[in-house]
Amino acid sequence: MLRFVAVFIIYVIPGAVAAYGFKTMRDTLYLYFDPAINQFLLGKFLLGFVLFALGVAFIGGFILHRDRKKNLVQPRFRKEEQ
């Protein structure tokens, strides 16, 4: 049960945030290209972009951290020890 909670916290929540950000950006572009409305909501688009970038960066960072611990990454992605 603990693994299910961990997977939910690490993958599902940031994935949902990224999906919502992508949906927000997509909806903003659809409103812009709609001939009846034709307005671009910059704030809503930027909010969607920030949510998308944060979600993808969190998941990507976690996967990179996990692979570095297991020594599965190429040498150029390894963290240099000082």
* Cβ atoms 21, 52 nearer than 8 A: yes
Residue 26's φ and ψ, nearest 5 degrees, are -65, -45
pLDDT tens over the chain, length 82 residues: 888 898 888 899 999 999 999 999 999 999 999 888 888 899 999 999 999 999 999 999 999 999 988 988 888 888 776 4
> What per-residue string of b and e applies to 70-82 under the rule 16 or more CB within 10 Å gives b?
eeeeeeeeeeeee
Q: What is the pTM of this model?
A: 0.84
